[in-house]
Amino acid sequence: MPIRRANSIDLLQGTLDMLVLEQLRWAPSHGYGIAQAIRTQSGDILRVDAGSLYPALHRLERQQLVRAQWTVSDRKQRTRVYRLTPLGRRRLAGERSRWEQLSLAIGAILDRGGVKA
């Protein structure tokens, strides 16, 4: 019996938080919208399941990085919409630069290894 539990979140947590914040940078959105956006923007590679997404959203909300509000969508669906707070915006900038440094660093290592091999 497959159990989706905290383990799968733990692996992704930092990255997932950043991706969620990034989605909210342009416009407020609900959970489903965020999941869909990540999925399409990643070319269907990253599928964020609900068991990871909602804990992440609620955690970000508790850290006051996002704020939630009930609205009614254009299709008359009552949804909970998240928007970025100023604090969240700053956090995203930090995460982003750290991520860029990290990928540069890892890239550098991989490149060097590639030349040698």
Partner 1 sequence: MKLPLWRRRQDDELTEELRSHLAMATQDRIDRGEPPDQAAAAALREFGNPLLVRETVRDTWGWISIAQWGSDLAYAVRGLRRSPGFVVAAVLTLALGIGANTAMFSIVRAVVLRPLPFADADRLVALNELDLRASGDRRGTLSWPNFLDWQQRSRTLASMAAYHSANFTVAAGGSAAHVPGVVASTTLFSTLGVTAATGRTFAPDDESAEANVAVVSDEFRLTHLGGDAAPIGRAITVNGRPFTIIGVLPSGVVFPIESPAPQLWVTAAEDARVEDAGDTPMTEQRGAHFLQAVARLRHDVSLAGTRAELDAIAAAIATQHPDDNAHRGAAATPLLEALVGDVQRPLWLLMTAVACVLLIACANVANLLTARGLARQAELALRVALGASRDRVVRLLVAEAVVLAVAGAACGVGVAVWSIRALVPLAPGDVRGLDAVTLDGLVLLFTALLAGGCALIVGVIPAVRVTRGDPSRNLTSSRGPGGQPSQWRWLNGLVVAETALGVMLLAAAALTLDGLDRLSGRDPGFDVSGVLTMSVSLPDSRYPFARQVAFYDQVVPALSAIPGVEASALVGPLPLGGSRFRISLELPGDSGDATARRQSPGFAFVSPDYFRTMRIPLRQGRDFTVADRQNSPRVAIVNESFARRYFAGVDPIGQRIRPGLSIDEPAAPWREVVGVVGDTKQVTLLDEPAPAFFVPHSQGMITTPHLVIRSTQGADAVPAAVRRIVAAADPELALYDVRSLQERLGASMASERFATLLFTAFAVLALLLSAVGLHGVLAYSVSQRAHEFGVRVALGAEARDVARVVLAGAIGLVGAGLLIGVAAAVVAGRLMAASLSFVQAPGVTTYAIVTAVFLTIAVVCGVVPARRAARTDPLRVLRAN
Task: State the nearest-atom distance from the C-beta of 100 to partner 1, in Å.
Answer: 28
Q: How many residues bind partner 1 (CB under 8 A)?
A: 27
Looking at the Cβ atoms of 78 and 116, the one nearer to partner 1 is 78
Contact 32, 42 (CB under 8 A): no
Task: Return left, alpha or beta for 111; rule: phi > 0 is left, psi -120 to 50 is alpha, else beta.
Answer: alpha
Q: How far is the CB of 4 from partner 1 (least distance, A)?
A: 6
- Residue 67: enclosing H or E segment and its boundaries? strand 66-72
Residue tagged 């509000």 (tokens)? 69
Q: Which residues make up the interface to partner 1 (CB under 8 A)?
A: 1, 3-6, 9, 30-33, 35-36, 49-51, 54-55, 58-59, 62, 70, 73, 75, 77-80
